[in-house]
Amino acid sequence: MTNILKIGTLAGLLAALSACAVGPDYQAPTKVENIALTDTYQQAAKLTNWWQAFGDEDLNHLIKIALDENRTLFQAQANVLRAYAIFRDSANDLMPKGTLDAGYQAAKNPTVLSSDNEAITRGYSTGANLTWDIDLFGKVRRAVEASLAEAEQADILWQDAQLQIISQVAASYGDYRGAQFRLKVAEQNLANLRQTRTIVRARYQAGFASELEIARIDAQVFQVEASVPQMRTLLARADATLSALLAKKPGQLALSNEPDLPQLSQPVALVQGENYLRYRADVASSERALAASTARIGVATADLYPNVSVSGFLGFLSGPGLTLGGETKSWSVAPTLSWQAADLGSVKARIRQAEASSDIALAQFEQQVFDALADMQFSLQSYNFSRQQQQSTEYQWQASEKAMTIARQRFEAGSGEFLELLEAQRDALQSRDQLALLEQQSFNRLVDIYRAFGGGISVI
């Protein structure tokens, strides 16, 4: 009974000591300057389907392929699996470890005694070898805490990778449709200019136009012709980018030839009082990195204290006859205490390194909060400014078209100057191309809003 009480007391003491873990206990920041961080990270409900608000079947098809085939997503997902495997491996360090071994040994002159000269000994051993680090001061538990935070960070980064790939596909699709549309506009403008050049040449042959007018209209035709290869280059670049994102060879997208940019049927809306920072994976990732760095301080601090481990053997030892029974049964227990007493200077240096790494992680987290807020604010402002610019350019294009129509009518009636027609055509061409460019820009900046808000913004 006395031995049982002693063993129980020792086990209770070890359990009480192992419940301690040195180093700071992590608390997630609740505030950065005057910015409240009351909500933890939450994956937006529309993270992987927000683009469907555009109602574009081609875009839906492209993004579905990207989510299934993009190799960057494969890497991010594999990184999650690796991080959780590391966590499970760290957690196993809390438990005793053991191996099942079987061995044979032969030796000649096993000792320095003269009686053992020319003696040959043989023996077999089989059984279980066990070791256990008791983790009195929480070194292993802090390491498990750090690896769990890193695994959670990897999971968050995988979700962010999905958002980034979706945004890249959507933006590249906008570039593709925008290049298509600008190419169509350039070809239409070229057809109109060639028609005007035919009229001017006819007037020249009739003696009503000069060589200067022929030269001016030719120059304008060649200028637009020169822009066509540029539009084709932009189209090829967008095709190549989309193909890479979808893990396809360029030229295999099979998109429709209608150069229509996706449009929202309703505008995006911000919910008053909503904390959109909770949808930002980069902020959440930085917070998990901070948690891991804080736990690493405990890992380093534990080396200031002794480490207790227990090893043992349970099995059989036998001679050449390889008999296994009660008379060959064997066991051993070997507790060990080790302490880096002669190297405490290095231990303290490692603690300072861990503390500095934690300070760096905190600064990075706080900066990420500021960067996220700036990104969200700028995405909204840039989209609004782009829409204003697009609207003004649309009015400019309508006015230019009207001026060109009047100038052409006057020129064909013989009451207008050719130079007026030429200038009116140039203005109309430039404003139409600029409008097409701004329509593409507005779409891409709308995609930026969804990306900046982590897919958490909604449509009215």
User: Is 401 contained in some domain?
Assistant: yes
| 261 and 443 Cβ atoms separated by less than 8 Å | yes
Q: How confident is the model at residue 65 (pLDDT cuts 50, 70, 90)?
A: very high
Asked if the model's pLDDT at residue 154 lies above 80, the reply is yes
User: Is 325 contained in some domain?
Assistant: no
User: Is 311 contained in some domain?
Assistant: no
User: Is 329 contained in some domain?
Assistant: no
> Pairing mode, if any, of strands 31-32 and 97-108?
unpaired
User: Is 32 contained in some domain?
Assistant: yes
pLDDT digits (tens, 9 = 90+) for 174-183: 999 999 998 9
The pLDDT of residue 16 is: 47
Q: Which amino acid, one-letter code, is at 25?
A: D
User: Is 185 contained in some domain?
Assistant: yes
Alpha helices (H) along 39-138: 57-69, 71-92
Asked if the model's pLDDT at residue 459 lies above 80, the reply is no
Number of domains in the chain: 1
Q: Which residue has the higher pLDDT, 442 or 103?
A: 442
Q: How confident is the model at residue 324 (pLDDT cuts 50, 70, 90)?
A: low
Question: Percent of the chain, pLDDT > 90?
Answer: 46
| 281 and 159 Cβ atoms separated by less than 8 Å | yes
| 93 and 138 Cβ atoms separated by less than 8 Å | no
- Write out the residue range of the structural domain in which residue 29 sits: 14-95+137-304+344-459
| 406 and 385 Cβ atoms separated by less than 8 Å | no
**3-class secondary structure per residue, 384-407:** HHHHHHHHHHHHHHHHHHHHHHHH
398-424 core/surface letters (b: 16 or more CB in 10 A; e: else) = eebeebbeebbeebeeeebebebbbeb
| 169 and 176 Cβ atoms separated by less than 8 Å | no
Backbone angles phi, psi at 256, to 5 degrees: -65, 160
Beta-bridged to residue 405, according to DSSP, are none
Q: Which amino acid, one-letter code, is at 458?
A: S
DSSP labels, 204-240 = HHTTSS-HHHHHHHHHHHHHHHHHHHHHHHHHHHHHH
Backbone angles phi, psi at 47, to 5 degrees: -55, -40
User: Is 130 contained in some domain?
Assistant: no
The CATH number covering residue 89 comes to 1.20.1600.10
Q: Which residues contact 250 (CB under 8 A, 6 or more apart)?
A: 236, 239, 240, 243
Which pTM value belongs to this model?
0.83
The pLDDT of residue 9 is: 47
Of 256-260, 346-350, 433-437, the one with minimum mean pLDDT is 256-260
pLDDT digits (tens, 9 = 90+) for 293-302: 999 999 999 9
User: Is 197 contained in some domain?
Assistant: yes
